Amino acid sequence: MSQAPATSEATRQGHDREIIALAVPAFGALVAEPLFVMADSAIVGHLGTAQLAGLGIASALLTTAVSIFVFLAYATTSAVARRVGSGDLQAAVRQGMDGIWLALLLGAAVIAVAVPFAPGVVDVFGASATAAPYATTYLRISSLGIPAMLVVLAATGVLRGLQNTRTPLYVAVAGFIANAGLNAVLVYGAGLGIAGSAWGTVIAQCGMAAVYLTVVVRGAHRHGASLRPDAAGIRASAQAGVPLLVRTISLRAILMIATAVAARLGDADIAAHQIVLSLWSLLAFALDAIAIAGQAVIGRYLGADDAAGAREACRRMVQWGITTGVVLGLLVITARPLFLPLFTGDLAVKHTALPALLIVALSQPISGVVFVLDGVLMGAGDGPYLAGAMVLTLVVFTPVALLVPALGGGLTALWGAMTLMMTVRMLTLWLRARSGRWIVTGATR
């Protein structure tokens, strides 16, 4: 990165326009996704505490299952964007179809496990006797929508690779509206209770998948790409996704360890941790939108054999990440007194959360760099390095986090460990970006 010549103002403005055009719709789509769970919770919550508890357990399991397969979007974005950069749109769409077929296969496998084993899985997560039946019902029905959600992930990656983030935004917003309406009708109008909420979500998810498939199939017909499953292509998509799967599992492990440590600190600490973590996750959506733009743009530049353009785009996106991080950090500092009362009136929880929120605010510029470089290296197809870097981060974070309660530290110390984790990620990603080894040009890596 450091070897590139000075960037002209016109080039910077061009990068800025492109980043905004891709990142803003991507941010809207990212924010719309968690609204599914919020809508379900708001509607099911009026049925009773046991139903809401069951929904909480089942939705956590489903969210984890879907998040593990997010590599379907990441790997597909990179591969399709490279083909677009090389000018071969037929191959780009064909590559996307391989990712969609892989999504269907993985979805079928998840159903085969989730439906018969739902009661056992719910028991493992410690559901009470009153909540367990509702969790099992919701999990079994909602599992039927997993293939649709995985298709949505893969098809989203196709469109992002084609430099189209607007369609995912429109589909996500329409899906949220349909989900909320169907839930209300089926839960109360049809009297199906929590099962109605699950069926409403499944129908909305299938509708979203159908829209995506229609868009991709039309693109395939337009560019003469085959829709038939190709074993070699599906296998290549799976192989490209394995390192990103390792990366995602390692990151999920870090978050689970942090929550487990917070639980050992006391009730006020775990309650405050959930509040801080929810804000941290919300801020991540804004930064992840820039990362998504990075995946699409970098993949296209490398596919077009434009190494210099990829370097300049990387540099500009890092600047965007730092600036966005500073702005978000200032917003958190300013809004801290207003944010906490939305979640709790407990003075002990507020007192515990305030210094942790300050750490989150101060670390946002670091997060900005991490998210952007993560997106850049994903766009370059540098999955193996990302996997190794995240495993290293997990190895560094785990003993530090586990020492927090042993040394008498509180939630502030735990979020200090979280900041250390993000700093390790930043250093590993920055060293890779600076080395230039991620820059491998061509239609395939």
Quote the pLDDT of residue 337.
Answer: 78
Question: How far is the C-alpha of 305 from the C-alpha of 87, rounded, in Å?
Answer: 11
Which of 149-158, 181-190, 334-343, 374-383 has the least mean pLDDT? 334-343
Quote the pLDDT of residue 391.
Answer: 97
Mean pLDDT of the chain: 88
Give the model's confidence band at 101: pLDDT under 50 very low, under 70 low, under 90 confident, else very high.
Answer: very high
pLDDT digits (tens, 9 = 90+) for 374-415: 999 999 999 999 999 999 999 999 999 999 988 888 999 999
Give the model's confidence band at 2: pLDDT under 50 very low, under 70 low, under 90 confident, else very high.
Answer: very low
pLDDT at 275 over 90: no
pLDDT at 3 over 50: no
Quote the pLDDT of residue 5.
Answer: 46
> Identity (one letter) of the amino acid at 144?
L
State both tokens at 12. Answer: 């910077």
CB 108 within 8 A of CB 169: no
Quote the pLDDT of residue 144.
Answer: 93
Quote the pLDDT of residue 4.
Answer: 44
Distance of CA 435 to the CA centre of its chain: 27
Quote the pLDDT of residue 7.
Answer: 55
pLDDT digits (tens, 9 = 90+) for 175-224: 889 988 999 999 988 889 899 999 999 999 999 999 999 999 999 999 99
Instruction: Give mean pLDDT, residues 80-107.
Output: 93
Q: Which residue has the tokens 């986090």?
A: 401
What share of the chain in percent tops pLDDT 90? Answer: 52
The pTM assigned to this predicted structure is 0.84
Quote the pLDDT of residue 33.
Answer: 65
Select the more confidently predicted residue: 203 or 344: 203
Give the model's confidence band at 114: pLDDT under 50 very low, under 70 low, under 90 confident, else very high.
Answer: confident
pLDDT digits (tens, 9 = 90+) for 37-71: 667 777 887 788 788 878 878 877 787 777 788 88
